[in-house]
Chains A and B, each alone.
Chain A
Amino acid sequence: MKRFTDLTQILAFLLFLALGLVLLIVLPRRTFSQQENRVLAQPPRFRLSDLASGAFTQGVEDCITDQFPLRDSWISLKSRTERALGKTENNNVFFCREDTLITRFSEPEETAAASAVRAVNTLAEGTKARVFLALIPSSAAVWQDRLPAHANTADQEALIRRIYGEAECPAADVLSALTEHRDEEIYYRTDHHWTTLGAYYGYAAAARAMGLTPAPKESFQPVTVTEKFYGTVYSSSGVRWVKPDSISRWVDPEGVTVYRDDGEEPSPVYDEEKLAVKDKYAYFFGGNTPRMVIETGQAGGKLLVLRDSYSDCELPFFFSHYSEIHVLDLRYFRKSVREYAEDNAIDDILINYSLSTFLSDPSVFLLGT
C-alpha cells in the first residue's frame, strides 16, 4: 500500500508539472484577454542589455503568467476559493449584495486634494469663462448599503466636502443627487462607471449649479443597446459568477456632429462597433480621446468640458443647452486650458471628473496651466 501511494504521489506531481510545461509550449499564444480587457505579455526578444538589467528575465516570467494554459479558469478558481473562505473581497473588489462588484476607494495621498483644488482655482481666476466643478463619487460611496458590513473604504463625502470648501468656483452636489436615488440602477454592477440613469442625475445637479434648467427625465426615451456588458471591475475582480449589465442611451443623436481630435470626418455620438468588443462603455463617443468638438445644431453658447470617462454618457444631456461643446482630456491633451478657452471663445467651463481621477491623476494639475 505504501509503495503504491508513493508511486501515485510521484506520478501525480510529475505529470501535473509536465502537463503544465507541455501545454505552455504547445498551446497557441493569445494576444488579448477579453475577460481581463488587456493585452497579454508575449515572449520577450533576447537582448544582452535586457539580460543585464533583468528586463529579459522579468519578461519571461510575465509571459508565462499571462500565457498560462486555462488562465481564465485559474483566475475564476481563485476568486471562488476566496469567497468560500469567507472573504468578501478579491483584488480590492468587494463582493456586494444584489450581484454588485464595487472597487475599494483607497485613501488618497495627503496632499492630493489641496494641490488639485489649487489647480482648479488657478483656472477659475485666470479665465474669463465661468468655471464650474462637478466631482462624481464612485459607487462605494453611493451604494454603501450594498457593501459587506464594515467594509473599509475612504469617506468620499468628507473628501468632496473638503474640496468644495476650498474651491473658488460654484460646485455641483452630484453625491447628494445620486444618493437620493441610490435604490435605482445608477451605477453598473460590473463596471466602475455610472449608468446613463446615474449620469442623468449628475447632469441635473451640474445644470442647476450652472444656472440651467435641466430637461425633465420624462422627456427622454431610453433605448437599451446591449444586455451583455461585463465591465472593468468584473475584469479586475476575477469574479465570474455575476450576471452582465445592460447599457442604454437616452438622447437622440439626430443633427449632432462630432469631430474627434483634429479629424475632418465626423465621428458618431454612439459608436455601434464598440458593442461588439469587451469594453462596451466606449459606445459613447468611441472612448478616450485628447480632444473632441461637438456641434449640437442647437442655439446657445459654448461649453468646455474637462473630462474623464464618466463624462461620456453624460455629455449628450448637455446638447440642448449649448451650440458647441468642446471636450478635453488632460491625460492626453497637453496645451494650456486657459488659452484654449480664449482661442475658442468658450462661455462656460465644466470640470467634470470622477473623484478618483481628480485625486489621483497627475494630469489634473494641468488645469492650472
Chain B
Amino acid sequence: MLFSSLLFLFVYLPVTLAVYFLVPARWRNLWLFIVNLVFYGWGEPVYILLMVFSITLNYASGLVIARRREKSRTVLTLCIVLNLALLFFFKYYDFLAENLRLIPFLAFLTPLGLRLPIGISFYTFQAMSYPIDVYRGRVEPQRNYIRFGTFVALFPQLIAGPIVRYRDIAAELSDRRITRASFASGVRRFIQGLGKKVLLANAIGALWDVYKAMDPSALSVADAWLGAVAFTFQIYFDFSGYSDMAIGLGRMLGFEFPENFRYPYLADSITDFWRRWHITLSSWFRDYVYIPLGGNRKGLGRQLLNLLIVWCLTGIWHGASWNYLLWGLYYALLLMLEKAFLLRRLDRGPRWIAHLYALILVVIGWVIFSLEDLGRCAGYLAALFGGGEGLVSSVFLYYLRSFAPTLVILALCATPLPRRIFDRLPEKVRGCASPILMLGCLVLVTAYLVDGSYNPFLYFRF
C-alpha cells in the first residue's frame, strides 16, 4: 500500500488511528502489529510469510545472542547470512543469473522473475541492526515478540525509509507518550510530505517521463539538462516526501524517527551532499560496514578501499542493475578525490562555485541512477554535453514554458526559505494560516489522487 493513495488516506489511516486511540494502551502494539501486516501484505499477501519469518529470525537470534554474548559470534554470523540471503535471493538472484548465464557452462541458470517484496532492502537493514546491536551490547534484547514484530514491520517507515534502527525506538516500543503538540506536529509533517510527493514530485516527474522516453541522440543540450533537472527534483521531493510522511505518521503514533534529509541540494561538496541525503542509509553503512572494516584508522590505502566497498554496496543497495553499481562507483571516485585534495581546494574558492560544482555533479549522478539501460544512459550523458542534436529545441521551449512556475516553486521548496518566511510571520497570522494551508494542501492532494493518472512508486527496485 502507498501513503499517496486514496485507500491509505481515507480508509486505512482513519481506521488505524481510530482503533489505536480507542483501545487501552497495552493493546496498541498488537493492533499496530496487525495493521502493519495488512499494510505490508496489501499488494502481495504471500509475502506476509516472509515478513513473519524475518521477524522471527531476528527476534530469536537476539535472545540467543543476549544469553551468550561474547560466545555467540557464530549465531550472529548465521543470522546476518540468513538476512542477506533472503535479500540476495529476492533482489539480486535474477540479475546475477542473467549475467552469469552468458558464461557457457553456467547457461542453466534461469531468472525466476519473482516480484521484489516491497521495502525488503529497508526492513532487512532495519531488522539486521538489532542482532548486531545486541551482540555489541548496545541494546537490551526484546523479549516480547509482538513488540519486536511491531518494530520490524512498522508501517510508516516500512517501504521507503527512513532506516530506523531498533535502538532508535526501543524505549518507545514499550512506553510512548502522545501529546496534543506532538500529534499536531505529526499531522503537519505528514501533510507536508504528502504535498511534496503528490503535488511537487509527481508534477515534475511527468516531465522526466517525457524525456526518459525520448531517443537521447535526438536531445538538444537544453533538453537533456531540463530532463535531468526534472528527475533531480522528482527524486528529492518524492523520497524526502516519503520520509516526511513516515516521520509524521510516527509522531501521530508516538514514535520519533531520525531525520533523513537536510536540504541536500544546498550541499557545497559531494561529501557534504552525503551528509544531507538519505542520512539514515549512509550512517547505517558507516556504523555497520565502514567502521567495522577499519574506517580511516588503518592508513590511507585501506581507507580508500573501505570507501570503495561501502559505495559499491550503497550503489547496488538501490537496485540490482549495473547502472546503480556505476552510480555508487561514481560517488566513490568523487569522494576519494575530495578526500585527497579537492575538498581543500573548494574550501579556498568562492562559495557559489562549490555549490555549483556539487549540484552539477549530483544532477549528472541522477542521470546514471535513473537510466537502467547502459546504452541509453551513455547516450543521455553525452547529450548533456552536446552529443545530441543542437543546443535548444522547440520541445524545450514548450516544456520550459509549461513547467516554469512549477520549477520555480520546486527550487524554492528545496531550500529552507519558505519555512523561514513562514516563521517570520506574526504569531497570529501563522496560527490562522497554517490550518488553512494544511487543509488546502489536503484538498489539492485529494484532487490529484482522484484524477490519478500518474502516481509512480520509485522504490520498487530498492
Contacts and interface: CB of A to CB of B under 8 A. Distances in A.
The answer to whether A and B belong to the same complex is: yes
Interface of A: 1-10, 12-14, 16-18, 20-21, 24, 51-52, 54, 57, 60-61, 64-65, 68, 71, 74-75, 77-79, 81, 85-89, 91, 148-152, 238
Contacts of B14: 14, 17-18, 20-21
Given A7-B180, A10-B183, A74-B446, A64 B10 contact: yes
A320 to B, nearest CB: 45
A152 B431 contact: no
A87 B404 CA distance: 9
Contacts of A17: 9-10, 13-14
7 contacts: A6-B183, A7-B184, A9-B188, A10-B187, A17-B10, A75-B451, A77-B443
Contacts of B6: 20, 61, 64-65, 68
Interface in B12-57: 13-15, 17, 42-46
A81 B188 contact: no
Given A1-B428, A9-B188, A86 B404 contact: yes
B427 A6 contact: no
A150 B191 CA distance: 36
Contacts of A74: 446-447, 450-451
Contacts of A150: 394-395, 397-398, 401
B370 interface: no
B181 interface: yes
A12 B6 CA distance: 17
* Chain A to chain B: the 7 pairs with minimum beta-carbon distance, closest first: A150-B398, A6-B184, A20-B10, A74-B450, A77-B447, A150-B394, A78-B447
Interface stretch (B69-77, B282-290, B415-423, B433-441): B433-441
A13 B451 contact: no
B7 interface: yes
Contact of A24 (B10, B191, B203, B448): B10
B451 A238 contact: yes
B349 interface: no
Given A12-B439, A74-B447, A78-B447, A5 B431 contact: yes
- The listed residue with most A CB atoms (<10 A of its CB), out of B7, B185, B399, B450, is B450
A24 B452 CA distance: 17
A4 B447 contact: no
A57 B42 contact: yes
A51 B48 CA distance: 13
A65 B187 contact: no
B7 A9 contact: no
A18 B17 CA distance: 11
B392 to A, nearest CB: 11
Interface residues of B, number: 54
Given A24-B11, A74-B446, A1 B439 contact: no
A16 B356 CA distance: 43
Interface in B178-230: 180-181, 183-185, 187-188, 191, 203
A169 to B, nearest CB: 32
Interface of B: 5-7, 9-11, 13-15, 17, 42-46, 180-181, 183-185, 187-188, 191, 203, 394-395, 397-399, 401-406, 427-428, 430-431, 434-435, 438-439, 442-444, 446-453
A7 B185 CA distance: 11
- The listed residue with most A CB atoms (<10 A of its CB), out of B10, B17, B45, B446, is B10
A176 B46 CA distance: 59
A337 B88 CA distance: 54
B402 A86 contact: yes
B196 to A, nearest CB: 16
A1 B433 CA distance: 13
A9 B435 contact: yes
B452 A21 contact: no
A14 B434 CA distance: 15
Contacts of B442: 13, 16
Contacts of A91: 451, 453
A89 B402 contact: yes
Contacts of A1: 427-428, 431
Contacts of A77: 443-444, 447
B395 A51 contact: no
Contacts of B435: 5, 8-9, 12
Contact of A81 (B44, B183, B191, B444): B444
- The listed residue with most B CB atoms (<10 A of its CB), out of A60, A68, A78, is A78
A89 B402 CA distance: 8
A86 B409 CA distance: 12
Contacts of B17: 14
- The listed residue with most A CB atoms (<10 A of its CB), out of B13, B402, B451, is B451
B180 to A, nearest CB: 5
Contacts of B439: 12, 16
A54 B401 contact: no
B53 to A, nearest CB: 18
Contacts of B184: 5-7, 9-10
B278 to A, nearest CB: 28
- The listed residue with most B CB atoms (<10 A of its CB), out of A7, A21, A52, A149, is A21
Given A9-B187, A74-B447, A54 B11 contact: no
A21 B10 contact: yes
A5 B430 CA distance: 9
A148 B183 CA distance: 46
A85 B405 contact: yes
Nearest to B9: A17
Nearest to A7: B180
B64 to A, nearest CB: 34
B395 A6 contact: no
